[in-house]
C-alpha cells in the first residue's frame, strides 16, 4: 500500500511540476509570436531576428514558432511607426534594433517618435567599432592619427559605409572630437557598405576606415591592414587580443554596435518580463556562446532596466553630438 501511495504522490508531483511555466513566463504565454526585422532579408536586423527566433525555439524557451517579418525602411523608422501606430499594445511582437537605430532616433529620422516611446527588452550581443589603416600606413597608433586630425582635420581622407550622420561617420566624428578637431571639417568619403570602403582603403584612396570588428577580421588576419584601436570597453578576444582600446591610448571613444530588441509600449508588464527572461535564459544556455560567435557577435549582456538605461543614454549622447555638428537644430 505504502509504495503505491508514494508512487502516486511522485507522479502527481511530476505532473504538477510539468504544468508550471518556467520562470518569467508565469502570467503570460505568447500567441503567434513575431519578430520584426526592420530591413530586407540578409542584413543585421534580419540575422538578429532569425538567429534569436531559432534559438528560443531550439532551447525550448518559447514554445510557439517565432515568425520573422521583414519590414525595411529608414533603418527602423518604418517598423517603429507601424508598431506604434497599429500594434502599440501587442505583447507578442519584438522588434530588432541596433546602435544605428539610436543614431537615427537622435537625428529625428523616426518622425515624432523618440527613445521614450517603446519598451527596451535587451541585447543579444554586440559588434565593436575599429579604426583601420593599411599595413604600410604612416599612422602607427591612435595618438598619431589624432594629432594629425587636430592639426588639420581635412588632411586625412577617411571613409566608410553610410553618409555624414551615419554610425560609421559618427565613429570618425568621435575620434576627431576627442582630438579637439571639428568633425564638420573631416574629409569623409561615403561608400555603399563596408566592403567598398575596405577596397578603397587597400587601394590607397582613403587612409582611414572607421569600420566594425566583424567586417575587418579577414583582412586583419591576412596582414593587409593594421588596427590603431578597437572602440570597445575592453580588449576583444581572438585575433583582436593584441589591439589596444582607444581608452588605453587616452581617448575616451567607444562605439558598441548593440543588437537587441524593443517591444510596444502598451504591452503588459508580464509580457515584458517574459521576453526579458527569454533572452536571459537564451544567453545562459551553454550552447549560446558558439551560436553568438557564428552570428558575428561578441558577448554583450544588457537586459531590462539596464538596457533601457543604455538605450536612452546613448541616444541622448548621439543627439548632443548631432546638434554640435549641425545635423539637427538646437532646441
Task: Report the CATH number at residue 46.
Answer: 3.40.190.150
Predicted TM-score (pTM) of this structure: 0.81
Question: Helices marked H in the chain — which ranges?
Answer: 2-19, 44-58, 77-86, 99-106, 142-151, 167-178, 194-202, 213-221, 269-284, 288-294, 304-324
Residues 239-245: contacts with CB under 8 Å, at least 24 apart = 240/213, 243/130, 244/142
Same domain membership, residue 183 and residue 114: no
- Structure confidence at residue 23 (pLDDT): 40
In angstroms, how far is the first alpha carbon of the chain from the final one?
81
- Averaged pLDDT, groups of 10, the chain, 331 residues long: 43 39 62 94 88 97 95 88 96 95 92 96 96 97 97 95 87 94 94 88 97 90 97 93 96 94 97 98 97 91 97 94 81 54
Q: Give the CA distances from residue 121 to residues 128, 245, 282, in Å, rounded to whole numbers and listed in that order.
A: 20, 28, 13
pLDDT at 214: 86
According to DSSP, the residues that pair with 123 across neighbouring strands are 260
Do both 142 and 248 map to the same domain?
Answer: yes
110 belongs to a structural domain: yes
Q: Choose among 129, 327, 137, 308: nearest CA to 225.
A: 137
pLDDT for res 24: 42
pLDDT for residue 3 = 45
pLDDT at 331: 54
Give the pLDDT of residue 156.
97
Same domain, 222 and 141: yes
Per-residue model confidence (pLDDT) at position 7:
47
Q: What is the structure's pLDDT at 14?
A: 40
Total of domains in the chain: 2
One domain, residues 157 and 273 = no
Q: Could you give the CA distance from residue 132 to residue 237 in angstroms, rounded to a whole number?
A: 17
Q: Are residues 220 and 136 in the same domain?
A: yes
- Tell me which residue of 328, 280, 322, 331 sits closest to 304, measured CA to CA: 280
Taking a C-beta distance cutoff of 8 angstroms, is the pair 209, 132 a contact? yes
- Distance (Å, rounded) from C-alpha 160 to C-alpha 196? 8
Domain of 251 in residue numbering reads as 128-255
The pLDDT value recorded for residue 119 is 98
Question: Can you give the pLDDT at residue 40?
Answer: 85
Q: Which residues of 39-66 are buried (b: 16+ CB within 10 A; e: fewer)?
A: beeebbbbbbbbbbbebbeebebbeeeb
Q: Are residues 82 and 112 in the same domain?
A: yes
Query: What is residue 210's predicted lDDT score, i.e. its pLDDT?
Result: 95
Amino acid at each position: 500500500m505504502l509504495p503505491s501511495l508514494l508512487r502516486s504522490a511522485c507522479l502527481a508531483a511530476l505532473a504538477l511540476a510539468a504544468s508550471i511555466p518556467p520562470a518569467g513566463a508565469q502570467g503570460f504565454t505568447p500567441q503567434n509570436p513575431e519578430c520584426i526585422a526592420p530591413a530586407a532579408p540578409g542584413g543585421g536586423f534580419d540575422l538578429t531576428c532569425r538567429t534569436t527566433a531559432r534559438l528560443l525555439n531550439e532551447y525550448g524557451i518559447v514554445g510557439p514558432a517565432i515568425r520573422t517579418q521583414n519590414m525595411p525602411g529608414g533603418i527602423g523608422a518604418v517598423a517603429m511607426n507601424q508598431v506604434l501606430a497599429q500594434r502599440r499594445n501587442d505583447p507578442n511582437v519584438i522588434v530588432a534594433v541596433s546602435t544605428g537605430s539610436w543614431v537615427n532616433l537622435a537625428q529625428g529620422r523616426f518622425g515624432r517618435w523618440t527613445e521614450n516611446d517603446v519598451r527596451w527588452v535587451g541585447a543579444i550581443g554586440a559588434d565593436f567599432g575599429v579604426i583601420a589603416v593599411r599595413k604600410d600606413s604612416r599612422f602607427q597608433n591612435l595618438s598619431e592619427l589624432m594629432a594629425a586630425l587636430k592639426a588639420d582635420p581635412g588632411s586625412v581622407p577617411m571613409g566608410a559605409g553610410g553618409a555624414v550622420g551615419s554610425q560609421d561617420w559618427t565613429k570618425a566624428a568621435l575620434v576627431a572630437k576627442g582630438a579637439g578637431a571639428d568633425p564638420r571639417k573631416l574629409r569623409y568619403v561615403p561608400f555603399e557598405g563596408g566592403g567598398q570602403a575596405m577596397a578603397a582603403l587597400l587601394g590607397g584612396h582613403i587612409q582611414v576606415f572607421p569600420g566594425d570588428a566583424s567586417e575587418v577580421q579577414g583582412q586583419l588576419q591576412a596582414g593587409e591592414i593594421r588596427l590603431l584601436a578597437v572602440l570597445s570597453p575592453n580588449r576583444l578576444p581572438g585575433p583582436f587580443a593584441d589591439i589596444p582600446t582607444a581608452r588605453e591610448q587616452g581617448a575616451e571613444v567607444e562605439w558598441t554596435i548593440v543588437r537587441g530588441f524593443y517591444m510596444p509600449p502598451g504591452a503588459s508588464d508580464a509580457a515584458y518580463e517574459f521576453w526579458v527572461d527569454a533572452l536571459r535564459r537564451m544567453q545562459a544556455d551553454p550552447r549560446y556562446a558558439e551560436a553568438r560567435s557564428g552570428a558575428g557577435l561578441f558577448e554583450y549582456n544588457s537586459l531590462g532596466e539596464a538596457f533601457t538605461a543604455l538605450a536612452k543614454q546613448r541616444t541622448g549622447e548621439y543627439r548632443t553630438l548631432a546638434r554640435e555638428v549641425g545635423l539637427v537644430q538646437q532646441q
